Amino acid sequence: MSNIPADAEARRAVEPVICYPEDTLPKPDVGAYLEAFTGYQKSDEVLVPPRDARCFRVPAGGVFRITSVEAPQVGDLNLWHGENLEERFFSGKTRALHGTHVTTGDRLWSSLPFLRPLATIIEDTLDWYGFDAFGGNVHDVIGTRCDPYTGQLLSGDEYHYCCHSNLTRALAKELSVSVREVERHVHDVLNVFMCTGFTRDTGQYFMKASPVRPGDHLTFFAEAPLLGALSACPGGDCSTTHSSDEARCAPLLVEVFEGEPPSDWSPAEASAYSRSHGT
């Protein structure tokens, strides 16, 4: 639409600068977590039905694992601090700190003013995938969640089994309150097993068939007491569509484990800035 300046190529060639370098972030000892996990015992499990969601709870120092069962399937994950719904998973800050997709050693950070790690990924059976030729990768923190509001905006249709609706109903049931009361607490997600990226020409968010297969799993160490909710996305493996009844969908399994965490571990505290400024 506008005139191309004479120095356009020079402007484009300016080297990028990483906004949040990771080298000063505390590094989790994944090996110590995994060693401790060998002594844990399963304390609970929840099978999330296709096109639906379920809540689960994990104590601080516990572990939870999400596993694909029956067929390739992606899921939308919400996490809250187990004692305070106002503190929840902050996908935007997690993306800024770790990148568009997360894997082993990355953490899911909580909202301001708390900004503490809620969970650390300690095992990812899809960590081999990396970035493909299209710029796609798995477990993204760039998508929001399929919801009826956007669906109606784009197509005029109403669909009430999208992930936003599923998560809202599951949270309302867990807390024994109305959907209206809890909807504001449902937030942008970790897209578990979903393969996504941005198109190189238009920068549009895309999805493609997930490489997940039955038995693949993503395992987290709980750095704080957690309330979680997981939706088995109505898009199945998200190879063609979402927010519809057309795709083949499968359940997802959530398992919770408890045991003795590493001896030098303690629950994550709210950010030092928050504690020093009384926020």
Distance spanning both ends of the chain, measured CA to CA: 46
- Report d(CA 193, CA 37) in Å as an integer: 22
pLDDT at 114 over 80: yes
pLDDT at 63 over 80: yes
pLDDT at 126 over 70: yes
Percent of the chain with pLDDT over 70: 100
Question: What are the tokens at 267?
Answer: 């629950």
pLDDT at 158 over 90: no
Per-residue pLDDT band for 279 (boundaries 50, 70, 90) equals low
Pairing of strands 205-208, 217-222: unpaired
> How many domains, in total, are found in the chain?
1
24 versus 190: the higher-pLDDT residue is: 190
Per-residue pLDDT band for 159 (boundaries 50, 70, 90) equals confident
Per the CB < 8 A criterion, the answer to whether 63 and 40 are in contact is: yes
pLDDT at 47 over 70: yes
What was the pLDDT predicted at 157?
Answer: 81
The Cβ of residue 92 has, within 10 Å, a number of other Cβ atoms equal to 13
Q: Determine, yes or no, domain membership for 204.
A: yes
Q: Determine, yes or no, domain membership for 179.
A: yes
Q: Determine, yes or no, domain membership for 160.
A: yes
Q: At a CB cut-off of 8 Å and minimum separation 6, what does 131 contact?
A: 137, 197
Per the CB < 8 A criterion, the answer to whether 93 and 114 are in contact is: no
The Cα diameter of the chain in Å comes to 66
Q: Determine, yes or no, domain membership for 38.
A: no
Q: Determine, yes or no, domain membership for 155.
A: yes
Q: Determine, yes or no, domain membership for 59.
A: yes
The mean pLDDT value for 210-222 works out to 98
pLDDT at 55 over 90: yes
Q: Which amino acid is at 32?
A: A
Average pLDDT, the chain: 95
Q: Determine, yes or no, domain membership for 36.
A: no
Structural domain containing residue 91 = 48-277
pLDDT at 150 over 90: no
Q: Determine, yes or no, domain membership for 6.
A: no
Per the CB < 8 A criterion, the answer to whether 39 and 204 are in contact is: no
